[in-house]
Amino acid sequence: MIAHAAALLVVPIILVGVVNRTKSCWAGRKGVPLLQAFYDIVRLARKRPVYSSVATVFVKAAPSVVLGTAVVSGLLVPLLGRRTPLSFPFDFVFFAYTWGLGRIFLMLGALDTGSSFEGMGASREATYSALVEPAFFLAAGTLAAASGKSSFAQLLRFRPDDPATAVVWCGCLVALFVLLQVESARIPVDDPSTHLELTMIHEVMVLDHSGPDLAVIQYASAIKMTVCAGLLAALLNPLDAAAGPALFAAANLGLILGAGIVIGTVESLIARLKLRSIPEYIFLAISAAFVALLASTLRRGGLG
Amino acid sequence: MIAVLAAGLTLMVGAVLALALPGNRVRAWAAIATQAVATALILAAVIPIVMGGAPISAQWSWPFPFEVVRVRVDALSAFFLAWSLPMTLLGSVYALGYLRPYFEAGRNGGPHFALLNVTSLAFVMVYTLENALVFLLGWEIAAVAAWLLVIWDYKNQKVRFAGFNYLVSTHVGMFFLVAAFMVMHSQTGSFDFGAFSRFLHQPGALRNVTFVLLVTSFGLKSAFFPFHTWLPRAHSAAPAHVSSLMSGVIHKAGLFALLRFTLLMGAPEEWMGWYLIGFSALSAILGVLYTSSQRDLKRLLGYSSTENVGIAGLGFGVGVLGLCWHQPVLVLLGFTGGILHLLNHALFKCLLFYAAGAVYLATHTVDIERLGGLVRRMPRTAAFFLIGGLAISGLPPLNGFVSEFLIYLGLLNGAVPTGRARVLLVCVAALLAFIGAVSALSMTRAFGITFLGQPRDSQVHPKSDAPAPLFITMFLHAAGVVLIGLWPPAGLWFVRSAVGLFMNLCTPVPGGLPDLSSVLMPVAGASLVLIAVVGALLLLARRTQGSVATQTTWGCGYSAANTRMQYSGTSFSSQFAAIFEAVLPQLRSEDLPVGYFPPDGRLATHYVDAVERRMFQLLGDGESLVTQAVARIPDQPRLAFAAGLVALAVIVWLIVLANGGVA
């Protein structure tokens, strides 16, 4: 429990560092320190926030809700392997809707300032998150159907043992990876480092957040990325139940950081998609999960 | 039984008093007082049944054509009565505040309050009578009363049109219901539901036809897609309390009847379950797509009714499939989820309509493109609208999540027997997730554009926040929304005995069934953790946000931004609508400025209901479309050849049929 909480709070900082270091390696730069995200958060937290004169309570409340939902969703995901602090049947439904709550408040915080740029960001966020939601449920539902289990920690223990289940497993991995890219605003869906407001999604929603509020939002989005990477890691972890919990947790954390390297590599090699092609990219996730779903019935002796 | 009869009589007396007494306040209070008495009587009668008591029944023998009229309050009737009457009462209280400007202008409110009483009376009739003729009478009373309530503002031509549209649609539904009753009467020679039940227990083509007729009729009543076209018009034209009662309470009669006939049918067939699921999924998905682009707040909420009856219908579909597959777990989850969603929808939809009514009362418009920044002037209404919006998007920790969670549990359950069924149900679950996310989009948009930012139209001058009757009504509904969200057993307790009726239809399993309270408690616990974490963070943030500096909103370098440059509702949804253009076509009328010294330009866009347009286009110009298509055939040899082949095939088929099939 305490180890889980510690991992949930510390790993995001390192994961962001790993992604940035990977990107700088590909670009041939020396790169910022691994803990730069931490220094940034500390620096921002010391500043005095500035609020828009139009804004009301929503701008102030949004960061807390976003961070709170990110942390609670993190409690449902097996970051350290097998067990999670919060686990109950069909907790993945709660997980998805908790993210939905955080997202709504982020969007309301954006609309609160009356800025057209932030409205634009909120509109995009709402659109893409609505599209990616079925992909997550298809993937989770497929794992539930294939494994006959219902809580996150059990679902993610699904491992392939024949060609049909290998298709199920791969399809779910692809869907979850695209989910990660959409939800934590990574290339090719969104570029977290751009400064051109017209093309952004996440960053443009927080234009009027400053100081500690901005720090909280950046931290929350790092946590969300870690949680997503945790899903992938738990599904990938090659160790079986015989391995000790410490070894298992270490492997899981290693895989999470490995996911960071993959994210950074994708970001370095691929350009950001045009906004109008993003739905097609998300459709890739939906189709992958759908193929996985179809394959999950093959194992049961054909469709029927 | 005496209590139910007394309640009916009290309501009638109230209606007469509301018409006869002088002075609007006296009339209103007469109606409210009699409704309160009737509600107390009904609650006294039905609460024991909701808690698991024995049903009460009585019967009269009347002369032809009624024969035997049975009055029966079983758990299902008790459940519906237990919230329909109190909510109508609250609606009447709301009307007191909402109609005040009209009363001050000298309008006679008597008939309106009398009609509210009559609506309650119609509930008592529809939910308790077990004779087709009298049932139809109650059904018709509800329909006509709703129509008359809608056209309160009858001097406005648009309102009259909306009302007429509703009247026609609801009677089209009535035709289907009458047809179904005629089929059943012709087979049984009786109007009694018990006799219908015996007929419906025998599988056969006639039963299938009856089922389709019934579902169509009840679907029209509850505004399922594609029979929803009357709904957004009627909801935007009616006074707020009437929209909310229609959407939240009156149209639940359709779903009540659906459940009633499912009970009468006993053992449904598998295709009926899939039919319900398909119908409901279509309703939910298209309803929610339409909510994403409406500019009229009440119209938006109207479409969202189509979505939510669809979600409840998904639950019923899962339950019906469970009955066919003899899987009591699915029956339990499906019907509990569906019935609880009905109640939840009534709570949060009424809340939202009441909040929209408060906005209308203060600003005289519900066009979100003209509103903005209302949270400063109407903080209480804004809070209520936000609670309703979060609940309707199915987000924890509010009540919408509880019922949707149960429906997910049914859809993703391991008890589904075949692989094909699993694939379909997981896809439906994914669809439900999409519906939830789009609903969140619509509600963020509706709340964000209406209440946040700055006022968009300088001609809109919001007056004070909601007056006391409006506030009380909204507060009570919001309390229900929060209560069921935080303490799900409260909701389960309410629906348990109604679901028990469906559980009686299936054979019990040896291992016993999961206790839904224990399934939902971890969810409620997780919701509490969420509230605790967010609450702690908010408190922490309050500390650090102590001394603040204020600046204008960052305009990305542009410093002369004005309030008209804010993101509008249409632009918020345009990207989403572009993806679903087939069902959300945008009409543009533009006169753009051109040249070096252009005159004033003009651009107007709005989204229309594609289904409604196409449907009426087809009805209006159908024969000319067919003629045009046929006229093209002789021009093109290919088409002529194909048409000839089709005709030949049809002729051969008919000849074979006439000879009694292929030997």
pLDDT in tens, A256-266: 999 999 999 99
pLDDT for res A304: 42
- When pLDDT is cut at 50, 70 and 90, the band that residue B662 belongs to is low
Q: B603: helix, coil or strand?
A: strand
Residue type, B437: A
Closest Cβ–Cβ partner in B537, B552, B565 for A67:
B537
Q: Which candidate, A151, A73, A88, A276, places its Cα nearest to that of B575?
A: A276
Q: Return the residue in B423, B539, B542 with the most chain A beta carbons within 10 A, the one to mutate for interface testing.
A: B423
Cβ B419–A301 below 8 Å, yes or no? yes
Tell me which chain B residues have a C-beta less than 8 angstroms from the C-beta of A217.
none
Q: Which candidate, A58, A20, A45, A286, places its Cα nearest to that of B543?
A: A45
Q: Please report, rounded to a whole number, the percentage of residues in chain B having pLDDT higher than 90.
A: 59
For residues B379 and B462, is the Cβ–Cβ distance under 8 A?
no
Q: Could you please report the per-residue DSSP string of B74-92?
A: -HHHHHHHHHHHHHHHHHH
Dump pLDDT digits (tens) for B590-639. 888 888 888 888 888 878 887 777 777 777 777 788 888 778 777 777 77
- Return the domain boundaries, chain A: 2-298
pLDDT for res B16: 93
> What is the rounded average pLDDT for all residues in chain B?
90
If one compares B622 and A44, the residue with the highest pLDDT of the two is: A44
Q: B1: helix, coil or strand?
A: coil
The residue written with tokens 């709504």 in the block is: A104
Q: What letter does residue B548 receive in the DSSP assignment?
A: -
The residue written with tokens 């009457």 in the block is: B85
For residues B87 and B346, is the Cβ–Cβ distance under 8 A?
yes
Q: Could you please report the per-residue DSSP string of B426-456?
A: HHHHHHHHHHHHHHHHHHHHHHHHHHSS--S
Q: How far apart are the first and last CA of chain B?
A: 61
pLDDT for res B464: 82
CA dihedral B608, B614, B619, B620 (to 10 degrees): 70
Q: What are phi and psi of B528, to 5 degrees?
A: -65, -40
Q: How far is A104 from chain B (nearest CA, A)?
A: 6
Q: Please report, rounded to a whole number, the percentage of residues in chain A having pLDDT higher than 90.
A: 60
Q: Which candidate, B276, B260, B241, places its Cα nearest to that of B87?
A: B241
For residues B49 and B312, is the Cβ–Cβ distance under 8 A?
no
Q: Does B638 reach chain A within 8 Å, measured CB to CB? A: no
CB pairs under 8 A between A and B: 265
Residue B57 CA to residue A193 CA, distance in Å, equals 71
Please count the other Cβ atoms lying within 10 Å of the Cβ belonging to residue B443. 27
Angle between helices B132-150 and B193-200 (to 10 degrees): 110
For residues B81 and B42, is the Cβ–Cβ distance under 8 A?
yes
Contacts of A34 (CB under 8 A, 6+ apart): A14, A17, A18, A21
- Return the residue of A nearest to B406 by Cα: A90
Residue type, B533: V
Tell me which chain B residues have a C-beta less than 8 angstroms from the C-beta of A45.
544
Tell me which chain A residues have a C-beta less than 8 angstroms from the C-beta of B436.
97, 100, 133
Cβ B448–A97 below 8 Å, yes or no? no
Closest Cβ–Cβ partner in B394, B414, B530 for A148:
B414
Please count the other Cβ atoms lying within 10 Å of the Cβ belonging to residue B179. 16
Tell me which chain A residues have a C-beta less than 8 angstroms from the C-beta of B545.
49, 60, 212-213
If one compares B552 and B402, the residue with the highest pLDDT of the two is: B402
For residues B268 and B262, is the Cβ–Cβ distance under 8 A?
yes
B319-to-B55, B214, B506, B585, B605 alpha-carbon distances in Å: 23, 18, 11, 35, 43
- When pLDDT is cut at 50, 70 and 90, the band that residue A303 belongs to is very low
H or E element at residue B577:
helix B569-579
Residue A141 CA to residue A172 CA, distance in Å, equals 10
Q: How far is B481 from chain A (nearest CA, A)?
A: 16
Mean pLDDT score, B513-536? 90
Q: What is the ipTM of this complex?
A: 0.95
Q: Return the residue in B288, B406, B412 with the most chain A beta carbons within 10 A, the one to mutate for interface testing.
A: B412
Q: Taking 70 as the threshold, does the pLDDT of residue B66 lie above it? A: no
Q: Which candidate, B252, B611, B576, places its Cα nearest to that of B440?
A: B576
Q: Does B538 reach chain A within 8 Å, measured CB to CB? A: yes
Q: Which of residues 374-413 of B touch A (CB under 8 A)?
A: 375-376, 390, 393-396, 401, 405, 408-409, 411-412
The residue written with tokens 């309470």 in the block is: B249
Dump pLDDT digits (tens) for A115-154. 888 999 999 999 999 999 999 999 999 999 888 888 888 8
Residue B79 CA to residue B98 CA, distance in Å, equals 29
- Return the domain boundaries, chain B: 633-663
- When pLDDT is cut at 50, 70 and 90, the band that residue B223 belongs to is confident
Residue type, B390: L
Q: Taking 60 as the threshold, does the pLDDT of residue B163 lie above it? A: yes
Tell me which chain B residues have a C-beta less than 8 angstroms from the C-beta of A97.
394-396, 401, 436
Cβ A72–B526 below 8 Å, yes or no? yes
Mean pLDDT score, A268-289? 91
Q: How far is A294 from chain B (nearest CA, A)?
A: 7
- When pLDDT is cut at 50, 70 and 90, the band that residue B73 belongs to is very high
Dump pLDDT digits (tens) for B565-599. 888 998 899 889 999 988 888 888 888 888 888 88
Q: How far is A40 from chain B (nearest CA, A)?
A: 17
C-alpha of A56 from chain center: 29
Tell me which chain B residues have a C-beta less than 8 angstroms from the C-beta of A296.
419, 422
B476-to-B91, B351, B354 alpha-carbon distances in Å: 11, 9, 11
Q: B328: helix, coil or strand?
A: helix
Please count the other Cβ atoms lying within 10 Å of the Cβ belonging to residue B574. 17
Dump pLDDT digits (tens) for A151-169. 888 898 888 888 888 999 9
Q: What are phi and psi of B453, to 5 degrees?
A: 75, -150
Mean pLDDT score, B1-16? 91
- When pLDDT is cut at 50, 70 and 90, the band that residue B545 belongs to is low
Residue B565 CA to residue B642 CA, distance in Å, equals 57
Closest Cβ–Cβ partner in A49, A68, A289 for B534:
A68
Cβ B414–A150 below 8 Å, yes or no? yes
For residues A127 and B441, is the Cβ–Cβ distance under 8 A?
yes
Task: Supply B230's token pair.
Answer: 């009357």
- Residue B529 burial by Cβ neighbours in a 10 Å radius (0-12, 13-18, 19+): middle
Q: Could you please report the per-residue DSSP string of B33-84?
A: HHHHHHHHHHHHHHHHHHTT---EEEEEE-STTT-EEEEEE-HHHHHHHHHH
Residue B322 CA to residue B70 CA, distance in Å, equals 30
- When pLDDT is cut at 50, 70 and 90, the band that residue A199 belongs to is low
Q: B638: helix, coil or strand?
A: helix
Closest Cβ–Cβ partner in B422, B440, B574 for A100:
B440
Q: Which candidate, A275, A128, A122, places its Cα nearest to that of A199?
A: A275
- Return the residue of A nearest to B454 by Cα: A114
Please count the other Cβ atoms lying within 10 Å of the Cβ belonging to residue B282. 17
Please count the other Cβ atoms lying within 10 Å of the Cβ belonging to residue B470. 28
Contacts of A188 (CB under 8 A, 6+ apart): A181, A266, A270, A271, A272, A273, A281
Q: Which of residues 571-590 of B touch A (CB under 8 A)?
A: 571-576, 579
Residue B348 CA to residue B389 CA, distance in Å, equals 8
- When pLDDT is cut at 50, 70 and 90, the band that residue B79 belongs to is very high
Angle at A99 between CA B376 and CA B294, to 5 degrees: 55
Q: Return the residue in A104, A147, A205, A282 with the most chain B beta carbons within 10 A, the one to mutate for interface testing.
A: A104
Contacts of B648 (CB under 8 A, 6+ apart): none
Q: What is the 3-state secondary structure (H, E, C) of chain A?
A: CHHHHHHHHHHHHHHHHHHHHHHHHHHCCCCCCCCHHHHHHHHHHHCCCEEECCCCHHHHHHHHHHHHHHHHHHHCCCCCCCCCCCCCCCHHHHHHHHHHHHHHHHHHHHHHCCCHHHHHHHHHHHHHHHHHHHHHHHHHHHHHHHHCCCCHHHHCCCCCCCHHHHHHHHHHHHHHHHHHHHHCCCCCCCCCCCCCHHHCCHHHHCCCCCHHHHHHHHHHHHHHHHHHHHHHHHHHCCCCCCCCHHHHHHHHHHHHHHHHHHHHHHHHHCCCCCHHHHHHHHHHHHHHHHHHHHHHHHCCCCCC
For residues B230 and B161, is the Cβ–Cβ distance under 8 A?
no
The residue written with tokens 């270091």 in the block is: A21
Residue A139 CA to residue A284 CA, distance in Å, equals 12
Residue A192 CA to residue A143 CA, distance in Å, equals 31
Cβ B441–A126 below 8 Å, yes or no? yes
Please count the other Cβ atoms lying within 10 Å of the Cβ belonging to residue B626. 10
Dump pLDDT digits (tens) for B498-510. 999 999 888 777 6
Q: Taking 60 as the threshold, does the pLDDT of residue A301 lie above it? A: no
What's this model's pTM, rounded to 2 decimal places? 0.93
Tell me which chain A residues have a C-beta less than 8 angstroms from the C-beta of B414.
144-145, 148, 150
Task: Supply B8's token pair.
Answer: 């009916």
Angle between helices A2-27 and A245-269 (to 10 degrees): 30
Cβ B430–A141 below 8 Å, yes or no? yes
- Return the residue of B nearest to A65 by Cα: B534
The residue written with tokens 């079986």 in the block is: A240
Q: Taking 80 as the threshold, does the pLDDT of residue B62 lie above it? A: no
